[in-house]
Chains A and B, each alone.
Chain A
Amino acid sequence: MSTQPTSEPGVGVIFPSGMLGGGFTAESIKRGIAMGATAIAIDGGSTDSGPYYLGAGVAKTAASAVERDLRILLSAAREAQIPLIVGSCGTAGTDTGVDWVAEIAVRIAAEDRLSFRMARVYSELDPATVIAAIEAGRVRSLPPLGDLDPDTVRSCSHVVALMGHDPIVAALEAGAEVVLAGRATDTSMVAAVALMHGLPAGPTWHAAKTVECGGQCTTNPTAGGVHVRIDGTGFTVTPLSPDAACTPTSVAAHMLYENADPFRLLEPTGTLDTSAATYTAIDERTVRVEGSGFLLSSHPTAKLEGARLGGYETISLVGIRDPHILASLETWLRYLLSVLEDRVRATLDLDPQHYELALQCYGANAVLGPLEDSTGDAREIGLLFKVRAPSQQTATAIARTANPLLLHLPLPGMDHLPSFAFATSPAEIERGPSYEFVLNHVLDLERGTDLFRIDLSEVANA
């Protein structure tokens, strides 16, 4: 195993996994400490899993999985006396998400007799704050969305701002040993550690982007996280697992990952530019990167995320194996829609503009829709019938109206009633509230700490 002597200049950060609750071994963290880590950073959230978590203000990860990971990290961080930073707590980084992780941390500390100064950094915004910023001309849209309408802000159940490194640096400078941040950029935690030590912005932000998904920048992404050492001229990244390697290609390719532009990454304080970066193998599993640039903006910004309630969903899943129906599936689906609209109008007095339907035929074209160009009849299909309406009661009433059709609807001209294969009883599954992301805007700030609230507390277990 290649380890770095602790006397090397710069900072070393362990990034154990792409997500708190995703799982990693205590041994991998020990290896990172042995490499000379001066901090541990981990991401607790993302918008990847859709708008529900922000809309409802609940976490995607299981509490038991977060507790397991956090116990390993708190123990290692306190033993080595280095800070632990968790970003985007509770998946969406709402205030409830921060408090949820904080409660778990306090419980672990009591059980394991750990003491530390804890900072909660909140990033949820009152709609009035955002609307005042719109009126002051301080909110700009990011493509593909247009100008932000105050009513869109009011329609959101939660709005969060993505913090950069500044609020995390402020918490660390206030003596926090454990920082639990609300919504934060994937890169902010690692960047905070390096920038507060005066390291240059180019290598710092590029290093932070490289490790933001843990082992994703290695040849074996499932083997565990990475350790990154950032210094005055570049950074050096090494996997924590002996079963993985960082290669110039695996590290360079990570700039492509989930990023619309392969060279430029917009951060709250400026833009990372990796177009002149060089990637060199130091040994068979360690990569050195130099030449990364960072263009500082004239003022910091905070990207906004917001989710609004779009209605309530009810779904049914029905299997179709009848070769006659499958041979004329498009005709049958059109017939289903037309009969259903008539019945909903007749029985519920609702026109199609009062609800939304989505019919996804798994086995035919559910995933690609009109882009599907593969032809040939499916052996069977699973028809996912989705309805969204302003209330759960209405959505379910429409799904119940659809039930006899999903069970028995023949093709036009058939001389008997077929019966299809419902997957569940009852066939209707109430999905609850259905949210959608509606903000893709940035708010201009004077200082990177504006908007964000730091709450310090002493967790003492003598």
Chain B
Amino acid sequence: MPDAALTLGELAGQVRSKNAGPFWITMDVLFRSEPDYTFVTTSGVLSPQAIGRLYDVDPATVKYFELRGILAVKISFPRPVTAGSFGDRDLHGGQQFVPLAALRLPAPPGHHQDASR
């Protein structure tokens, strides 16, 4: 569990995005430890609704998986613009993880403002 309020990208070992075929984008959050994984997956910050707000997509189209066995969360949703079409900004979808990584996590319970990492 983190000592202070962090972003998801600061806490996780890796946050990454990539196309899953030209019509879907998929994102993986890979955690370093079981407590970090549990802290995030029980905090309520990650959900299809949260992803819908973050990426301006319909939450009903968001696939969300919690993978305790490998301490990962996987999120997939249809690409608003098909890969490589006119107007696509990211052919391989490799930079779209940034808003997810910037997601601010709640302060852990018992955290004090002067706590240092």
Contact = CB atoms under 8 A, between A and B. Distances in A.
Contact of B86 (A144, A261, A370, A436): A436
Contacts of A419: none
Contacts of A144: 23-24, 61, 78
A319 interface: no
Contacts of A260: 20-21, 24, 26, 63, 76
Contacts, number: 105
A132 interface: no
B22 interface: yes
Given A253-B70, A371-B55, A356 B22 contact: no
A49 interface: yes
A51 B22 contact: yes
Contact of B26 (A258, A360, A370, A388): A258
Nearest to B23: A440
A110 interface: no
Nearest to A305: B22
What interface size band does chain A fall in?
Answer: 35 or more
Contacts of A371: 54-56, 96, 99
Contacts of A47: 21-22, 83
Contacts of B107: none
Contact of B21 (A256, A257, A369, A440): A440
Counting chain A CB atoms within 10 Å of each CB, which of B18, B24, B28 scores highest? B24
A373 interface: yes
A61 B83 CA distance: 19
Interface in B7-37: 18-24, 26, 28, 30
A328 to B, nearest CB: 23
B1 interface: no
Contact of B89 (A51, A310, A368): A368
B76 A261 contact: yes
B15 to A, nearest CB: 12
Interface of A: 47-52, 142-145, 249, 252-253, 256-263, 310-311, 313, 356, 358, 360, 366-371, 373, 386, 388, 434-437, 440
Interface of B: 18-24, 26, 28, 30, 54-56, 61, 63, 65, 67, 69-70, 72, 74, 76, 78, 82-87, 89-92, 95-96, 98-99, 102
